[in-house]
Structure 1
């Protein structure tokens, strides 16, 4: 049974207990804090580069589409 994983961003081997998943990527907590953010609407963790700002809120793509088309 594996107890470590390689972080998608930094490549370091880390304990599975500290794994943060973003889509199909597995990130260490440090990289997750630096490169991701939580959607203010649904709570999904997304990469900062893929997040949208809408009326002072950070949104993932699906939530942005929903509120922008209302």
Structure 2
């Protein structure tokens, strides 16, 4: 089964660490990153899709994707 996550956050080192942590847990980058201005906060926001193949599991909306 393939899992999908969209990681988002402000354009800062914490976002880069979030993506790096996902990669270290076996997630793979999917597509290009997104970058947009959030007028409400006045900050640039980043987004990066990641996917991961997992065996022996059935998908459930209750899954904690970050723990896979």
TM-score under structure 2 length normalisation: 0.23
Counting helix residues as a fraction of each chain, which structure ranks higher? 1
Counting strand residues as a fraction of each chain, which structure ranks higher? 2
TM-score under structure 1 length normalisation: 0.23
